[in-house]
C-alpha cells in the first residue's frame, strides 16, 4: 500500500478477506489481530508499506478453480480503498520414469493430490486374468489424497510417446477379483489419456470411501500381429507344384518378440524349397525373433509338390444268391475326382496368442472308365463274378456267371373296408 495524497494517514487498518478454499500459513509483518488484520499508526506522504502473506490451497480444490482474494484499507481521515486478486488453481503434475525405460510419465488430477507415484514392472503382477495386451510403458501405482468420501476424480496421464486409438487402461484390483478395465475419456492417438476414478468405488484399490484413492494400473496396447497366405496356381494337376506366399507384419505400436512361423502342410504334400530357408532340421518352422513396431514385415515363399494320381489295382471276387424279388446294382469307375488341399500357417509371439491364415488349392481330377451293372427280377437267382480294376491304364474287367429261374410274382391285396 502507498500514500499518494498530500497528508499523512493515521491509524491505517488493512483487512484481508481470504477465499474459502485457502488456509492462512504466515505473514510478514505478522497480523495485528487474528490472521487477517494489520494496524499501522501512520503512513506518510509517498510512503509504501508491504505485507507478504502465505496461504495453502486446500487439497480437495479442483484444478481450474478461481480463488478470489480481497483486501480493504482505511484510515482515520475517512479515506478507503480496496483491491482484488484472482488466482487459478493449477496443480503441478507428478512424474516418474517408466518401468520399461521408455521415458517420463506425468500424472495430474483435477482434485486432490497425487502422492507415492512409482513405476510398476508388469511381471510383478498376477498373470491370471490379465488381458492380452502389451503395456509398453509398464504400469503405475499412486495414491490421491485430500478428497471427500465418494468423490470422483479425473486423472490425466501424459506418456513418453503416442499410444494408438483403442488403447485400454487396465489395473489389478484385488478387491474386485483381479484385473479390471478402467474407462478412458481421452483416446485420440496422442500421448495423453484420461481415466476416471471413484473414492471407495471403481478404480479404488482399498474399496473404502475414505477420501483416498489407491490405484495400480497402466495403459495397454493391443498387439497387431498379422499374417496372410496365398497359393499359385489355385488349381493344379496331380503331381504338380504349388507356390505358397506368406506375408507377415507388425502393424501395431509395440515391438513383438519371439516371433515364430509354423507351416502345417496337408497330408501327402512334399516339401521342395523355401525362401528364406526354414530353421535347420525342419521344413516348416521359421524363427523370426523380434518384429519392431510400425510397418515391419517379411515374406516367405514355399514350393511344394501335391500327390501324384493314385495308382490303384483292385481285384474282387464274390457271389450273390437270392429267391423272390432280387435286384443287383453296381457302379464301377477308374475316375479320380478333384479334391481340395487346405494349407494353414500360424504365427506366434510372446505378446499375443497365435494368429493363423490359410490357402486352399484344388487338385484336378483324372478321367477314367466307368461301368454300371443292374439286374433285377423275381425267381431264383445265383451269380458269381470276378472284378479287376486298374487306375493306371483305366481298365475294368468284369467276369460274371449268372443262373436265374423266373418265377411269377403273386401279389395279394386286401381291402380294409
pLDDT tens column, 104-120: 999 998 888 899 999 99
Residue 140's closest CA among 150, 128, 125? 125
d(CA 24, CA 57): 9
Complete domains list, the chain, with CATH:
9-88 (no CATH), 94-220 (no CATH), 225-309+340-363 (2.60.40.1530), 313-334+370-406 (no CATH)
Radius of gyration, CA atoms only, the chain: 44
Do 314 and 281 contact (CB within 8 A), yes or no?
A: no
- DSSP sequence for 199-237: TTSTT-TT---SS-EEEEEEEEB---EEEEEEEESSEE-
pLDDT digits (tens, 9 = 90+) for 388-410: 656 666 665 666 676 766 666 56
Distance (Å, whole) CA 411 – CA 367? 45
Beta bridge partners, 107, equal: 94, 157
What integer pLDDT is reported at residue 325 of this predicted model? 62
Q: How far is CA 408 from the centre of its chain?
A: 78
Q: Does the structure show a pLDDT above 60 at 2?
A: yes
Distance of alpha carbon 152 from alpha carbon 163, whole angstroms: 25
Residue 417 has pLDDT above 70, yes or no: no
**Rounded (5°) CA angle 194-61-109:** 20
In the chain, % of residues over pLDDT 70? 80
State the chain's mean pLDDT as an integer.
85
List, for residues 239-251, the tens digit of each pLDDT value.
899 999 999 998 7
How confident is residue 62, by pLDDT bands cut at 50, 70 and 90? confident
- Please work out, in degrees rounded to the nearest 5, the angle formed at the alpha carbon of residue 138 by the alpha carbons of 135 and 141: 125
Amino acid at each position: 500500500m502507498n500514500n499518494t495524497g498530500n497528508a499523512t494517514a493515521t491509524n491505517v487498518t488493512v483487512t484481508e478477506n481470504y477465499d474459502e478454499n485457502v488456509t492462512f500459513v504466515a505473514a510478514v509483518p505478522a497480523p495485528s489481530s487474528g490472521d487477517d488484520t494489520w494496524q499501522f499508526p501512520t503512513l506518510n506522504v509517498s510512503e509504501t508499506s508491504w505485507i507478504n502473506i502465505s496461504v495453502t490451497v486446500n487439497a480437495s480444490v479442483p484444478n481450474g478453480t478461481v480463488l478470489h482474494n480481497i483486501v480493504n484499507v482505511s484510515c482515520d481521515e475517512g479515506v478507503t480503498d480496496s483491491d482484488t486478486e484472482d488466482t487459478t488453481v493449477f496443480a503441478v503434475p507428478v512424474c516418474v520414469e517408466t518401468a520399461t525405460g521408455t521415458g517420463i510419465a506425468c500424472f495430474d488430477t483435477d482434485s486432490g493430490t497425487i502422492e507415492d507415484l512409482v513405476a510398476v514392472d508388469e511381471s510383478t503382477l498376477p498373470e491370471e486374468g490379465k488381458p492380452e495386451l502389451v503395456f509398453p510403458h509398464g504400469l503405475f501405482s499412486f495414491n490421491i489424497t485430500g478428497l471427500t468420501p465418494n468423490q470422483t476424480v479425473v486423472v490425466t496421464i501424459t506418456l513418453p510417446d503416442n499410444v494408438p486409438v483403442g488403447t485400454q487402461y487396465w489395473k489389478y484390483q484385488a478387491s474386485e477379483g483381479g484385473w479390471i478395465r478402467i474407462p478412458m475419456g481421452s483416446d485420440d492417438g496422442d500421448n495423453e489419456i484420461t481415466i476416471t476414478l471413484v473414492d471407495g468405488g471403481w478404480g479404488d484399490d482399498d474399496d473404502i470411501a475414505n477420501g483416498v484413492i489407491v490405484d495400480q494400473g497402466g495403459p495397454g496396447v493391443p498387439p497387431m500381429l498379422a499374417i496372410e497366405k496365398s497359393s499359385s496356381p489355385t488349381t493344379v494337376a496331380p503331381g504338380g507344384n504349388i507356390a505358397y506366399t506368406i506375408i507377415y507384419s507388425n502393424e501395431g505400436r509395440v515391438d513383438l518378440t519371439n516371433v515364430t512361423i509354423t507351416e502345417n502342410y496337408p497330408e501327402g504334400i512334399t516339401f521342395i524349397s523355401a525362401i528364406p530357408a526354414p530353421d535347420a532340421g525342419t521344413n516348416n518352422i521359421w524363427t523370426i525373433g523380434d518384429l519392431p513396431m510400425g510397418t515391419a514385415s517379411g515374406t516367405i515363399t514355399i514350393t511344394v509338390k501335391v500327390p501324384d494320381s493314385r495308382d490303384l489295382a483292385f481285384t474282387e471276387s464274390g457271389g450273390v444268391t437270392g429267391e423272390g424279388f432280387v435286384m443287383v446294382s453296381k457302379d464301377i469307375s477308374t475316375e479320380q475326382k478333384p479334391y481340395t488341399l487346405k494349407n494353414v500357417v500360424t504365427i506366434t509371439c510372446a505378446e499375443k496368442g497365435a494368429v493363423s491364415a490359410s490357402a486352399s488349392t484344388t487338385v484336378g481330377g483324372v478321367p477314367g472308365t466307368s461301368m454300371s451293372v443292374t439286374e433285377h427280377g423275381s425267381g431264383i437267382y445265383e451269380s458269381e463274378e470276378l472284378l479287376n480294376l486298374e487306375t493306371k491304364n483305366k481298365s475294368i474287367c468284369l467276369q460274371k456267371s449268372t443262373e436265374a429261374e423266373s418265377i411269377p410274382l403273386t401279389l395279394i391285396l386286401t381291402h380294409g373296408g
